[in-house]
Structures are given as structure tokens and as C-alpha cells.
Amino acid sequence: MKIEFYKYQGTGNDFVILDNRDNKYDGLSVKQIKHLCDRRFGIGADGLMLLTKKEGYDFEMVYFNADGNESSMCGNGGRCLVKFAYHMGIHKNTYHFIATDGEHFADIAIDNGQTVRLKMKDVTEVDEHSTYAVLNTGSPHFVKFANNVKDIDVVETGREIRYSKEFKEQGINVNFVESVDEDGIFVRTYERGVEDETMSCGTGVTAAALMSAHNEKGFNRVEVQTPGGHLSVEFEKTDEEHFENIWLCGPAEFVFKGETEV
């Protein structure tokens, strides 16, 4: 099968995107998707997405991890897919699409056209422990605050947590977070499905930002630095475990397009 693909990235979190509005890629297998995401023998990406038609929405987002399996929500992927939809001629002031965790809204900044804002799902439950927190921002995340995050072996330590007895069956993404200043944090993430550190993780950045709220109630904006670049998260904190109007904001950029055979 000949595939026409597009490569996008958001703060270094990179994706293969296929226009599947005619359903021609519905039959892709786990093995084929894994091959396309392989950085040595394929195109190379943290994940693959299909832009698909869905009645009542501007489009549907179908997301696969680099291991070829369909996965939960990807924040940076969602922002990149919005930019891809725009480039495919779907022009909206506000985008309304459906993903595995429900409906989302998004917009593209008028000022430079690079910033894409994505509304994430509300968070209504946080499992807090003395040294870490677990919450779901569309995907499950383990958030641990630490010093000198740049020196942590994220792959080894993240893998130990991800494959620990508590999380092994379902898997979990592991985020190491360091406070930079009153409003800013630095985040590194080990992602399940990729089974490695990624340059950035949108749902992970969101989870880390929620746990870094500087206002106990009301509006918060947290600036987030990742190895791949800068993001920000805006949200309303209603109480200790409830967060609403969560927006993940940052760049989403076209890299290249091409054709390949699978």
C-alpha cells in the first residue's frame, strides 16, 4: 500500500499524520503503524494520527502510539492535528473535534499562526501521595517533583515506575517536575507506548501544571519548559482535586511530507 504522509511536531513531540477522511487507511495494522513510527526503518515519530470524518464534529482524532497500538489522548498530537486540519482546508475560528477521551475545542492564534490552543478534559480526581500524584488528563500520569531534573535518568527511573506492580497492567506516563520560579516549571516525561523519554508530552505537561497551581482557587497560568521547547497551561482551579477550562497552548509546526510503501 502506498501511503501519503505528513510529519508535524509540537515542541519536539513528533507525529506522522494521515488524511483518512476517505477511510483508506482504516486497515493499517499494528505492525505497519509501528514500522511507520520506527526511527531507523520507517519515517520516525512518537505516534501516528488519522484525521477522520465524524458527523457532528469538524473531524475525529484517532491516535496510535509508536508501538502501533491505539492509545489514549495526546495533547501535543491534538494540537498538531488541528494545524494539519487547517492545512487540509478545514478553516474554523474554533475547532470542535472528538478524540478517545471525548470532545475538544481548539483555536489557532491569529498573531503568528504557530500557537495552537487545545481545550483539555476537566480533571475531577487527583490521587495524591507524599512524594507523587496520579491524575488523568486524557492519559494517566504520574507526577513527581524533584530537584535537578536535568540530571535524572528519566528512561531508567521512568521505566521502573511504569512497569512497577501498581502500574504495569495499564501503564502510566511518568513526569519529573522541577519548579523554576513562581509561575514556571521544567518537565521531563517517560511515555508509555513510546517506552522512552520524549522531547515533550502535552498531557504530561498539563498534569504537571495542574499540580503546580500558584492560586488555590480561580485562574492559573503555568509556564512550562520541556527539552523540546516552551508550552503554557491555563486553567481554573475550583478546589484541591477539580480543574476546569484547561487549555494547553504552544507551537505546532509542519515538518515535511512524503510517500512510502507498507
Question: Is the same domain home to 101 and 132?
Answer: no
The reported pTM is 0.96
Catalytic residue set: 74, 201
Average the pLDDT over 108-132 and give the result.
90
Domain-embedded: residue 113: no
Domain-embedded: residue 99: yes
Domain-embedded: residue 116: no
Domain-embedded: residue 68: yes
pLDDT digits (tens, 9 = 90+) for 180-237: 988 899 999 999 999 999 999 999 999 999 999 999 899 999 999 999 999 999 999 9
Residue 94 has pLDDT above 70, yes or no: yes
Domain-embedded: residue 83: yes
Neighbours of 172 (CB within 10 A): 22
258 vs 111, higher pLDDT: 258
Question: Is the same domain home to 146 and 177?
Answer: yes
Average the pLDDT over 118-134 and give the result.
96
Average the pLDDT over 130-147 and give the result.
96
Residue 112 has pLDDT above 70, yes or no: no
Average the pLDDT over 92-105 and give the result.
97
- Give the total number of structural domains in the chain: 2
CATH number at residue 153: 3.10.310.10
Residue 113 has pLDDT above 70, yes or no: no
Q: Are strands 13-19 and 47-52 parallel, antiparallel or unpaired?
A: parallel
Domain-embedded: residue 114: no
Residue 82 dihedral angles phi and psi, to the nearest 5°: -60, -45
pLDDT digits (tens, 9 = 90+) for 19-75: 999 999 999 999 999 999 999 999 999 999 999 999 999 999 999 999 999 999 999
pLDDT digits (tens, 9 = 90+) for 141-156: 999 999 999 999 999 9
Q: Given this model, what pLDDT does residue 93 score?
A: 94
Question: Is the same domain home to 12 and 43?
Answer: yes
Q: Given this model, what pLDDT does residue 241 score?
A: 85
Q: Given this model, what pLDDT does residue 157 score?
A: 98
Place of cell 500520569: 141
Residue 251 pLDDT grade (very low, low, confident, very high; cuts 50, 70, 90): very high
Quote the domain boundaries for residue 75: 2-108+252-261
Least Cα distance to 199 among 162, 253, 247 occurs for 253
Question: Is the same domain home to 132 and 212?
Answer: yes
pLDDT digits (tens, 9 = 90+) for 159-181: 999 999 999 999 999 999 999 98
